[in-house]
Amino acid sequence: MRNILMGLAAFALASVAMGAQAQDKQVNIAVSIPAADHGWTGGVVYHAERAKKTLEARYPGLKITVKTSPDGASQANALEDLTAQGIDALVTLPHNSDELTDPIRQVKEKGIFVTVVDRALSDQTIQDLYVAGNNPELGRVAGEYIKKELGGKGDVVVIRGLPIVIDEERQKGFDEAIQGSDINVLDRQFGNWSRDDAFKVMQDYLAKYKKIDAVWCQDDDMAVGVLEAIQQANRSDIKFVVGGAGMKDMIKRVADGDSMIPVDVLYPPAMIATAMELTAGNFHDQVPVRGNYILDATLITKDNANEFYFPDSPF
Amino acid sequence: MSNTTAAQTARRSLGDIDLRAVAPFVALAVLFAFGAMVNPNFVGIDNLLNVVTRSAFIAIIAVGATFVISAGGLDLSVGSMSAFVAGTMILFLNTGLIASDVGMIAAAMLLALAVGALCGLANGLITTLGRIEPFIVTLGTMGIFRALTIYLAEGGSIAIKSQELRAAYRPVYFSNLLGVPIPVIVILVVAVVGAFIFYRTRFGRHVTAVGSNEEVARYSGISVNRVRTLTYVIQGLCVATAVLVYVPRLGAATPTTGLLWELQAITAVVIGGTALRGGVGRIWGTICGALILEMVGNIMVLSDLVSEYLIGAVQGAIIIIAMLIQRSLGRR
């Protein structure tokens, strides 16, 4: 994975150098993403806008249109509208893979370069480029950390997201990591990736179990609610909480050495920017980019936290 | 003619008030017994206080919804309105205009109430003056308030920046007065004030009159539009009051703040015995309905009876059963 990151750095340098030569080439890229319906997608919107600014400044002939949609059906409509405007490439984070596979296929059939982000399509031959975080790895890294910190033995509660593929993959990675150890998962409930719901579920866990060693809630938004519930209950048995994604407040806590949030597992909304960079590079710099680009689920610790800290991001 | 109808309404509600009004409380008691059976921790005082405290947002909003629905209206915008009011309130707190923390919080509270009242007024005026179905109007404002919140948050969340301010405001959700959590006291105050206005004032009687028969109410000299609009203003004030308790809990407004609260509030109102078609309202029943909703969720997490995938189905079934218990009591 490190190699890929190094590669990206080299690529970014190369694209700056070559930008001057490719100045007048007219390219239209459409970016279709979900509306900011929770913290993480809010981050996606922020980073899409940020990448639009930097890329348009770097490549004068480039025009990027960012369009957000509140649900799968309206995203399908948005795809049609965007295509009708005449685009060279589509970068999309689909609401739902099954629902949007066919609309994206229609875009592809018009000869448009398709980059899919985060959620793989049901038919993977459609996409030219696939950029994603690593969901099973996010679960595995969290599981490995909890196993190591608790010395292979302890009681853990899990708060899940929503019943969709991403959540299943994360759970599976987590379960594989703790398999064979004496880590006992007391309970799993859905917290809908919402602070308020995670707060409620955690309050109920605290009422139900007298001893909990650690909490895995796979998402930093939910970690906020979990911490608040623990603080209210004045419980000292919980040693730490492991979230995920890389919300700035949580990364700050990791950097500050907060004992309740010792680590975070990266699943960056900024992956949309990675996808946009690569797609623009394909047109302006003639860099080969087709294929799968899977970002690491990096374990963020006190030592590397500053690398992932975006103080201006909403997420 | 109008007088006889009004009199009949009064007599009817007096005649069967006992069983119908008691029914939601019976459903709550049955649910309570069920919870105690499922997990002994359920009846622990900490758990019960958690549940009642958590129900504060929906309960307070639902008191407002009782007014709106009794008058024959509907407000679908309360969830996004909560997020919007919370967002503006936190943004104001972040300006740091007033040096003292207490003064700042008090000013922010007043601002929140004003914003809530204005949002409600907008709903009310568009519905009455524009003569548009409240379902459509509030569906529209639901989208508007939600989008404005996301716009203000620039797609992320709006959090209280100053840690001192956050610490000063936090007790409003987490502390208690003589062992009773503050949010529970707020529920009681809102319910008592709401019940007083609804049952003891002329305005309250006008609300039910307008809800049961608009034409008759108009001929008896009630300003229907004014009454209707005021119910939306009351709804807005209730939303703002709920926000005053919500903000100190997590100190932030996020895109998921208030999501689907409108459905929960309407469900609480209906479980409480208020007629969805208008004309009958029960404030205390509404509070009871909000408690039932929150308790169902709590029992589900405390029990190991069903897989986490099926919780939604069981919650739905329990709500329907609660209604059936009510109905069977009401018929007798």
DSSP state of A122: S
**Cβ-based neighbours of B181, under 8 Å, separated by 6 or more:** B49, B52, B53, B173, B174, B175
Tokens 């930093």 belong to which residue?
Answer: A220
> pLDDT tens-digit profile of B101-152?
899 999 999 999 999 999 999 999 999 999 999 999 999 999 999 999 988 8
Do A128 and A273 lie in a common domain? yes
Q: What is the CATH number of the domain that holds A96?
A: 3.40.50.2300
Among all residues of chain A, which has the CA nearest to that of B249?
A: A228
Has residue A21 been placed in a domain? yes
Helices vs. strands in chain A: H and E counts, helices first: 10, 12
The CA distance from A12 to A5, in Å, is 11
pLDDT band at B330 (very low <50, low <70, confident <90, very high): low
Has residue A49 been placed in a domain? yes
Q: Which of B44, B47, B154 lies nearest to residue A46, judging by beta carbons?
A: B154
The interface residues of chain A toward chain B in range 16-35, judged by CB-CB distance below 8 A, are: 35
Has residue A128 been placed in a domain? yes
Do A23 and A140 lie in a common domain? no
Tokens 């948050």 belong to which residue?
Answer: B153
Do A74 and A219 lie in a common domain? no
End-to-end CA separation in angstroms for chain A: 25
**Cβ-based neighbours of B203, under 8 Å, separated by 6 or more:** B197, B227, B230
Among all residues of chain A, which has the CA nearest to that of B53?
A: A200
**Cβ-based neighbours of A153, under 8 Å, separated by 6 or more:** A181, A182, A183
Parent domain of A66: 2-133+269-295
The CA distance from A257 to A306, in Å, is 12
The CA distance from A19 to A13, in Å, is 10
- Across the strands, what pairs with A27? A62
Query: Within chain A, where are the H helices?
Result: 2-19, 39-58, 72-84, 97-109, 135-149, 165-178, 195-208, 220-233, 248-255, 271-284
The CA distance from B80 to B62, in Å, is 14
E-assigned strand segments in B254-321: none
The CA distance from A284 to A62, in Å, is 9
Q: Which of B41, B150, B255 lies nearest to residue A207, judging by beta carbons?
A: B41
Instruction: Find chain B residues with C-beta within 8 A of A187's C-beta.
Output: 301
> pLDDT tens-digit profile of A27-79?
999 999 998 777 788 889 889 999 999 999 999 889 999 988 888 888 888 88
The two tokens of residue B54 are 């958590």
Among A187, A233, A160, A198, smallest CA distance to B303 is for A187
Q: Is ipTM over 0.90?
A: no
DSSP state of A266: B
Has residue A314 been placed in a domain? no
Q: Contact B252/A36, CB-based, under 8 Å? A: no
Q: Which CATH architecture has domain B2-331?
A: Orthogonal Bundle (1.10)
C-alpha distance from A221 to closest chain B C-alpha (Å): 9
Among A66, A136, A34, smallest CA distance to A279 is for A66
* Domain termination site, one of A220, A246, A265: A265
C-alpha distance from A132 to closest chain B C-alpha (Å): 21
pLDDT band at B17 (very low <50, low <70, confident <90, very high): low
Q: What angle do CA B307, A118, B253 make, to 5 degrees?
A: 70
Listed by start position, the domains of chain B span 2-331
pLDDT above 50: residue A22: no
pLDDT band at B1 (very low <50, low <70, confident <90, very high): very low
pLDDT reported for residue B5? 47
A199 contacts chain B (CB < 8 A): yes
Q: Contact A314/B155, CB-based, under 8 Å? A: yes
Do A140 and A108 lie in a common domain? no
Count of CB pairs separated by less than 8 Å, A with B: 98
Has residue A310 been placed in a domain? no
Q: Contact A194/B254, CB-based, under 8 Å? A: yes
Instruction: Find chain B residues with C-beta within 8 A of A232's C-beta.
Output: 174
Do A72 and A28 lie in a common domain? yes
A67 contacts chain B (CB < 8 A): no
pLDDT above 70: residue A131: yes
pTM, two decimal places:
0.79
pLDDT above 90: residue A275: yes
Do A86 and A194 lie in a common domain? no
Interface test with B, best of A196, A210, A217, A313 (most B CBs within 10 A): A196
Distance from the Cα of residue B159 to its chain's centroid: 24
For chain B, give the mean pLDDT: 88
Has residue A308 been placed in a domain? no
Comparing A98 with A282, the larger pLDDT belongs to A282
Do A291 and A233 lie in a common domain? no
Average pLDDT of the residues in B229-258 = 93
C-alpha distance from B101 to closest chain A C-alpha (Å): 21
The interface residues of chain A toward chain B in range 130-159, judged by CB-CB distance below 8 A, are: none
Do A39 and A147 lie in a common domain? no
Do A140 and A221 lie in a common domain? yes
The total of structural domains in chain A comes to 2
The CA distance from B252 to A161, in Å, is 20
Do A108 and A175 lie in a common domain? no
Has residue A315 been placed in a domain? no
Has residue A305 been placed in a domain? no
Do A206 and A101 lie in a common domain? no
DSSP state of B123: H
Share of chain B above pLDDT 70, in %: 92
